[in-house]
Amino acid sequence: MNFGVIAEYMPLYTEAFFLTIKIGWIGIAISFVLGIAVAFIMHFKIPVLSAISKAYIELFRNTPLLIQLFFLYFGLPKIGINISAEVCGALGLGLLGGSYMAETIRSGLDAVPKSQTESGKALGMKPLLIFKDIILPQAFATSVPGLLANIIFLLKETSVFSAISLMDLMFTAKDLIGLYYNTTECLVMLVIFYIIMLLPVSLIGSRVEKRVRYKMFGA
Amino acid sequence: MGEILTLKNVSKSFDDLVVLDNVDLSVNKGEVVVIIGPSGCGKSTLLRCINGLEDIQDGTISYEGDVGMVFQSYDLFPHKTILQNLTLAPVKVKKRNKAEVNKEALELLERVGLLSKKDNYPRQLSGGQKQRVAIVRALIMHPEVLLLDEITAALDPEMVREVLDVVLSLAKEGRTMIIVTHEMQFAKAVADRVVFIDGGSIVEEGTAKDIFENPRTDRLKRFLQTFSYEE
């Protein structure tokens, strides 16, 4: 292992690391908003929108992110929509993630007993208030493990961004290997940066999970 | 004392199954009506129709003010503290002043002996304690009529008393209540009027003395026999 090379590559990796994190988390934020909206529509079985949501979920869960990115990156300009690789990456990740988040949140919503809605109604609460103040927080607590798994999965999926020439971690590693053939150093650095990116999510996530679940269910 | 709640020809069915068949019932202000009857006779459905949790197919239900309800399984909100459980609806639905609602919540908790639990979560309370909180949660909405649906049915026997004592004290202060229960001794103690429902309609009604000591119909006699163990 040549530590001189590692030191030399460090700035490039660091830059790629922050770019990956930035686009990754923007994508995850999009997936959350999308996931909650779609889960809401499916939970309340809103006509038409429900069918559209179902189709969206099946389409995006059952196709690889790489192909979704190709469609966004190379397809959209053909119909006159030009977006940058960064926007494309975040959007692609958000759309893919939204389909996963929606299913996770929906299963959480369905797990909240119907009697919770009824006791809200008996207190004169309107459906939207019941959803926001009673159902969603409980659904969220049950969904935390699934949401966490989704977040980790999505952050790892960022590794295909290189295919649309985003200079993320994977792109940087491949690029450097291609140029200088320091394969071992480049791959070790890649692994370490991914761990630095994901380990805190894992650890903080487990703590959040324990806290929310303990508070509500005493487990 | 005028009528505060009136049901006229109320009918309710789930698909082909008729659950309530032409029920007429009126309740006066300050009256405590206890509804008894075999499982599946429509008692709970009647309460759920009154507060709009179930649609009715025929008839009318009219009442003054709000109707509050307490359920068999308490159904407190598990993610909120006891105090938050109580203040949520008054503040967000009735738009009342938060400090004032807090004060009232604490007074009511004190009254049912649970002031020390105000910052606990529901899971930290016993069944009887949860049910007392559920009663307070209904009371703080200032309902004109309080519906109690088998509120002791899910409790361990030693916790039944603490809940029923709260209900007895509410009856004493003149609250209008409709109570569905299987606790016959309690029914005798609390009821101004007892209504016996079987097969979705009111079969017999009268004072507790009438109903329990001089049942007129065979159906009521048979029902009451299931509660006695005399040889």
Q: What is the pLDDT of residues A13-24, one digit of tens each?
A: 999 999 999 999
- Are A129 and B75 inside 8 Å of each other by CB? no
Residue B148's closest chain A neighbor by CA?
A122
pLDDT at A211 over 90: no
Nearest to A134 among B69, B73, B77 (CB): B77
Which ipTM value was assigned to this complex? 0.88
Q: Pick the residue of B49, B63, B75, B96 with the most A CBs within 10 A to test the interface with A by mutation.
A: B75
Q: Mean pLDDT for chain A?
A: 91
pLDDT at A8 over 50: yes
- Residue B157 has a pLDDT of 86
Interface residue A125 vs chain B (CB under 8 A)? yes
- Are A122 and B77 inside 8 Å of each other by CB? no
Percent of chain A residues past pLDDT 90, beyond the cut = 76
Task: Please report which confidence band the pLDDT of residue B23 belongs to, taking 50, 70 and 90 as the band edges.
Answer: very high
Cα→Cα distances A139→A151, B79, B120, B158, Å? 17, 10, 21, 33
- Residue A195 has a pLDDT of 95
- Residue A218 has a pLDDT of 53
Q: Mean pLDDT for chain B?
A: 92
Q: What is the mean pLDDT of residues B149-160?
A: 89
Q: What is the mean pLDDT of residues A67-71?
A: 93
- Are A122 and B51 inside 8 Å of each other by CB? yes
Q: Chain-centre distance of CA A46, in angstroms?
A: 25
Residue B53's closest chain A neighbor by CA?
A118
Q: Which residues of B touch A128 (CB under 8 A)?
A: none
- Are A119 and B75 inside 8 Å of each other by CB? yes
- Residue A210 has a pLDDT of 83
Task: Please report which confidence band the pLDDT of residue A219 belongs to, taking 50, 70 and 90 as the band edges.
Answer: very low
Interface residue A111 vs chain B (CB under 8 A)? no
Q: What is the mean pLDDT of residues B133-156?
A: 94
pLDDT at B170 over 50: yes
- Residue A209 has a pLDDT of 85
Residue B119's closest chain A neighbor by CA?
A215
pLDDT digit string, tens, across residues A30-63: 999 999 999 999 988 999 999 999 999 999 999 9
Question: How would DSSP label each residue in chain B?
Answer: --EEEEEEEEEEEETTEEEEEEEEEEEETT-EEEEE--TTSSHHHHHHHHTTSS--SEEEEEESS-EEEE-TT----TTS-HHHHHHHHHHHTS---HHHHHHHHHHHHHHTT-GGGTTS-GGGS-HHHHHHHHHHHHHTT--SEEEEESTTTTS-HHHHHHHHHHHHHHHHTT-EEEEE-S-HHHHHHH-SEEEEEETTEEEEEE-HHHHHHS--SHHHHHHHHTT----
Interface of chain B against chain A, CB under 8 Å? 51-53, 66, 68-69, 71, 73, 75-79, 88-89, 92-94, 121, 123-124, 137-138, 141
Name the pairing type of β-strands B3-14 and B17-28.
antiparallel
Q: How far apart are CA B162 and CA B157, in angstroms?
A: 10
Q: Which residues of B touch A121 (CB under 8 A)?
A: 52-53
Beta-carbon count within 10 A of B153 CB:
13
- Residue A216 has a pLDDT of 67
Q: Of the candidates B174, B145, B170, which has an alpha carbon nearest to the alpha carbon of residue B7?
A: B145
Q: Which residues of A touch B89 (CB under 8 A)?
A: 120, 123-125
pLDDT at A215 over 70: no
- Are B123 and A122 inside 8 Å of each other by CB? no
- Residue B230 has a pLDDT of 61
Token digits for B56?
């009715």
Interface residue A74 vs chain B (CB under 8 A)? no
- Are A217 and B137 inside 8 Å of each other by CB? no
pLDDT at B52 over 70: yes
Q: How far is B68 from chain A, CA to nearest CA, in Å?
A: 6
- Residue A26 has a pLDDT of 97
- Are B93 and A218 inside 8 Å of each other by CB? no
Q: How far apart are CA B229 and CA B231, in angstroms?
A: 6
Task: Please report which confidence band the pLDDT of residue B32 belongs to, taking 50, 70 and 90 as the band edges.
Answer: very high
pLDDT at A92 over 60: yes
pLDDT at B112 over 50: yes
Task: Please report which confidence band the pLDDT of residue B231 belongs to, taking 50, 70 and 90 as the band edges.
Answer: low
pLDDT digit string, tens, across residues A128-169: 999 999 999 999 888 999 999 999 999 999 999 988 888 899
Q: What is the mean pLDDT of residues B50-59?
A: 92
Q: What is the mean pLDDT of residues B10-39?
A: 92
Task: List B179's β-bridge partners, or say none.
Answer: B34, B148
- CB burial class (10 A; 0-12, 13-18, 19+) of residue B103? exposed
pLDDT at B92 over 60: yes
pLDDT at B40 over 90: no
Q: Which residues of A touch B78 (CB under 8 A)?
A: 138, 216-217
pLDDT at A208 over 90: no
pLDDT at B109 over 80: yes
pLDDT digit string, tens, across residues A171-207: 999 999 999 999 999 999 999 999 999 999 999 988 8
Number of residues assigned to chain B: 231
Q: Which residues of B touch A116 (CB under 8 A)?
A: 75, 77
Nearest to A133 among B73, B75, B88 (CB): B88
